[in-house]
Each structure stands twice: as structure tokens, then as C-alpha cells.
A and B are shown apart, each in its own frame.
Chain A
Amino acid sequence: MTPIFYLLAAVTLAGGLAAVLLKHLVHCALAVTVAFAGLALLFLQLDAQFAGFAQILVYIGAVAILIVFAILLTRGSDLPKDGVFSKTWFLGLVIAAGVFAVIGWAVLASVSAIPQQDAVPSVSVHDIGDALVGRYVLPLEILALLLTAATIGAVIVAMHEKERPR
């Protein structure tokens, strides 16, 4: 594994850790943006250019901005008095560590059984387009419906309610 992989993995994990540990919400949002960028570079390292650029475009260009807007619209700048971690934080930490331990053991124990082919796959955007309207046309159409429903739902949920007569 190359030094670039270690660097990118370190950046991504540092961003993720900062995102869940920092006190100020906007710092968390910016840290998770760094994690997204690190992941996009990892995708590029794995020769998945389309997925990498789509990750930048969607996650950094839209989801990060959504998160930031939501923080600003809900007065995230005021820190709560009782601290930012919940009362049962230790249990959460134990569960997360347990999950990582199980998955990590599974990965390391099955290293020999994982099929490995190191040849770089040559995938062009043309192939992705063919797959999208060929083999994956049903998920594509369902995704379109889902996105429409999500857009309309988000607008309705976040709309101002009409003034109720008091």
C-alpha cells in the first residue's frame, strides 16, 4: 500500500474524528467536508473517476452546504450548557468500538479468501451510460421518483406553517 493511500486515509479519518469530536458545529461541518474530499481522492485512487467527481459535486457541493445552512438556521452557534456529549456517551463509544472490532476481525481473518485482481479496470463514461439505461434502468427510474418525492417532501416539511387563529 502506497504512501499516498496512507496519507489519504489519515486525512479522511482525521476529518471524520474531528467532525464528531469538535464542540462548535460549523467546525464539525467543515471537518466533515475534509473527510468527503479525502474520500473523493480515495475513489480517484481506486480508478473510479466518475464516482470520485460525483462525490465532490454532490457531497461537497450540496450536502455540506445543506448541513451548514441547517446549522445556521437552527442557531447552532450557541453551545448548550450541559456539554455537547450525551449522558450515555461511554456506551456509544463501546458500541462503536465493538462494531469496528467485529468488522476488522472479519476483514483480517478473510484476507486469503478475498479474490484479488490488480489489473486496472478500463471504465469509460460511455460504459456507465450504457449500464444506466441498460441493466440499471429500473433503479434509475425509481431513483428519479425518490428524488422527486424527497424534494417535494423536504419543501413541505420545512415550509412555514400558516398562522393558526388564536
Chain B
Amino acid sequence: MTSMMTTPLAGYLLVAALLFAIGLGGALVRRNAILVLIGIELMLNAANLNFIAFWRYGPHPEALTGMMFAIFSIAVAAAEAAVGLGLVIAIYRHTNTTELDKIDRMKG
């Protein structure tokens, strides 16, 4: 087997895939709502890495498509983190817990 069976682009894509899987696993496995949000942020970051890697190694990097996607994604992720954490704080005030297992009733 030759040593260079993967190109640099494939290397970055594999790192992004692994980070995405870690984020997904974290969001599915942990009980605390804030850790689910951390997992979601990791997934978004992995997607950003994918975009930038494709922008760098793909054709027509002067069109800046990948970079623009990543920049907009960073901005939207920050807004989403703010709203999500505000929701977690509001739920904590109401039910005095952040564990997702305990928030299983529709009645407030």
C-alpha cells in the first residue's frame, strides 16, 4: 500500500467527519441540555471545516463560495447558541433542572 492514498483534502474531510460524529455522539449521549448544545456547536464547526476545505482544494476558490458559507455559518451559529442557551436558562427557572430526562411532561 502506498503511503499517500489520501489527499490533503480527504484528510481534512475525515477530521471533519470525525468531529461531526463526536458532536453527534455527545448530543445523543449526555443528559444535560447544555452539553447537547455543545455537541451541536461541534457539529456546526465540523461542517464549517468541510466548507473551508472544499473551498481551498476545489476548483474556483476565487469565487469565495466556501469562505462565505463558513462566515455566515459562524454568525448564525452564534445567534443560535444565544437563543438556545436563553431557552435552557428559562427552562431551568421553570423546572429547576437542566437534565433532559426529567423534562418529560407537557404540563408546565
Measured CB to CB, the residues of A under 8 A from B are: 1, 5, 9, 12-13, 16-17, 19-21, 25, 28-29, 32, 35-36, 39, 42-43, 46-48, 50-51, 54-55, 58-59, 62-63, 66-67, 69-71, 73-76, 80, 82-87, 89, 91-93, 95-97, 99-100, 103-104, 107-108, 111, 114-118, 121, 123, 127-128, 131-132, 136, 139, 143, 146-147, 150-151, 153-155, 157-158, 160
Contacts and interface: CB of A to CB of B under 8 A. Distances in A.
Contact of A96 (B24, B70, B71): B24
Interface string B16-30: 011111111110111
A150 B82 contact: yes
Interface residues of B, number: 73
A101 B105 CA distance: 35
Residue among B8, B67, B93 facing the most chain A CB atoms (10 A cut-off): B67
**Interface of chain B: mostly helix, strand, loop or mixed:** helix
A20 B30 contact: yes
Contact of A153 (B21, B45, B76, B83): B83
Nearest to A98: B21
B22 A73 contact: no
B34 A136 contact: no
A136 B68 contact: yes
Given A74-B89, A96-B25, 7 more contacts: A1-B11, A50-B71, A86-B101, A96-B28, A103-B13, A103-B20, A107-B10
Interface string B51-65: 011011111011010
B86 to A, nearest CB: 4
Contact of A114 (B10, B68, B78, B79): B10
Contacts of B78: 58-59, 62-63
Interface of B: 5-15, 17-26, 28-32, 34-35, 37-39, 41-42, 45, 48-49, 52-53, 55-59, 61-62, 64, 67-68, 70-72, 74-83, 85-90, 92-93, 98-101
8 contacts: A35-B42, A42-B12, A48-B67, A96-B24, A108-B6, A121-B61, A154-B86, A157-B90
A157 B86 contact: yes
B17 A121 contact: no
Contact of A51 (B5, B29, B58, B70): B70
A59 B74 contact: yes
